[in-house]
Amino acid sequence: MIKIVTDIRGMQEQCDTLRKKGKTLVLIPTMGYLHDGHLSLIREGRKRGDFLVVSIFVNPTQFGPREDFKAYPRDLKRDVELIKPEKVDAVFYPDAQEIYGHGFQTSVRLSKLPKYLCGRSRPIHFTGVATIVAKLFNIVRPHVALFGQKDFQQLLVIRQMVKDLNFDIEIVGVPTVREPEGLAMSSRNAYLTAEQRPAAQSLFQSLEEAKKQVLSGETDAAKIIQSASERIRAYMEAVIDYIIVCDPETLEPMEHITKPALMALAVKIGNTRLIDNMMLLPESGADPNPGR
C-alpha cells in the first residue's frame, strides 16, 4: 500500500532512516493529475533505486497572476489509483502552508537560463520552479531525481541549480511521451475540447516537418520557424507565444543549424498553453542527448 505523507518532518524522518540503512532514494516531483508521461518517469525511477517517492504539489509560486493556478486539475484519489500498480513507496502530498509557512521569503533564482523560451512570458515561473525543487531535494534528500524532457527548459534549470548549489543528486531526463496523434502528454491537455485538438496537434506536426527540413539540408532557422508558424496559425484558436531554434545547452537562439539544435515552441490553444520541443539533427551532427 502506498504511504501518503503530508508533513515535512515525517517525510524527512522516513527518508533519513532509509539513507542510514544504505537505501537509494528516488524522487519524481509532479503537480499531480498524472498521465502516461508521469508513469514513464515512475517506471524509470523504479529501476534506479530502492525507495521511490512521488511528490504531488501544485506550486503557487510558479504561477503568474493571470495563469491557471486555481483551475489547475487536482485529484489525489485518481492519482493514487493510477500509480498503485507501479510500486511507488510514498506520495509526498503537502499543502502550501506546510511548504511555505508564515513569512516565507527565500527563493532560488537563476540569472541566464530563465531569460529564454517560457521565461520571457512567465518571468516568475522558473524562480518558483527552482525554489520548490530545491525544497523538495532538502526534504526527501534523493540520490536520483527524474524530470521529463517535454519541459526541456525546466530540466536545464534544475541541472544548473544542482551544479551551482552542489546538490549531490543525479538528474535524469526522460523522453517525452506522446498521444497517438503526437500531442505531448500534459496535465493541461484535459482543458482541450475535441474541436481544439487538431490545432494542438499542429505543434508536433510542425516539429516533425522541421526535422524533415533539416535532414533535407535546410540550415536557415528563420525559414524553419516561418514554416512552423504558418502551419500553426492556420488554426484560428492558436496564438503563438514563441517558436525558437536554439542551442540545447544554453538556449541561446541559433541562426544556422550546423550542429544539433533544439526547436521549442509554446502556443495557446484557446485558454490552454501548450509547450513542446524536438532535437533537430543535421546529417553531419550527432545527437548529444542533453536530457540524459
pLDDT band at 264 (very low <50, low <70, confident <90, very high): very high
Whole-angstrom distance, CA of residue 140 vs CA of residue 84? 20
For the chain, state the CA radius of gyration: 19
Domains of the chain: 3-174 (3.40.50.620), 187-279 (3.30.1300.10)
**Mean pLDDT confidence for 5-17:** 98
Q: What is the pLDDT of residues 49-105, one digit of tens each?
A: 999 999 999 999 999 998 999 999 999 999 999 999 999 999 999 999 999 999 999
pLDDT at 284: 62
Which stretches of the chain are assigned E, i.e. beta strand? 3-5, 25-30, 51-56, 90-92, 144-148, 170-174, 238-246, 261-269, 272-280
Q: What is the pLDDT of residues 130-176, one digit of tens each?
A: 999 999 999 999 999 999 999 999 999 999 999 999 999 999 999 99
Query: What residues are labeled active site?
Result: 38
Position 103: which residue type?
Answer: G
How many angstroms separate the Cα of 140 from the Cα of each of 5, 52, 120? 11, 10, 31
Which of 48, 69, 8 lies closest to 273, judged by CA? 69
pLDDT at residue 290 greater than cutoff 50: no
To the nearest whole percent, how much of the chain has pLDDT over 90?
A: 95
pLDDT at 283: 79
Percent helix, strand and coil across the chain, each rounded to 5?
40, 20, 40
* End-to-end CA separation in angstroms for the chain: 31
Q: With 0-12 CB in 10 A as exposed, 13-18 as middle and 19+ as buried, what is 189?
A: buried
> Given CA atoms 278, 280, 281, 287 in this order, what sign does their dihedral have?
negative
To the nearest whole percent, how much of the chain has pLDDT over 70?
A: 97
**Mean pLDDT confidence for 235-241:** 97
Q: What is the pLDDT of residues 97-108, one digit of tens each?
A: 999 999 999 999
Q: With 0-12 CB in 10 A as exposed, 13-18 as middle and 19+ as buried, what is 106?
A: exposed
**Mean pLDDT confidence for 35-39:** 97
Q: What is the pLDDT of residues 278-288, one digit of tens each?
A: 999 997 655 54
pLDDT at 66: 86
Across the chain, mean pLDDT equals: 95
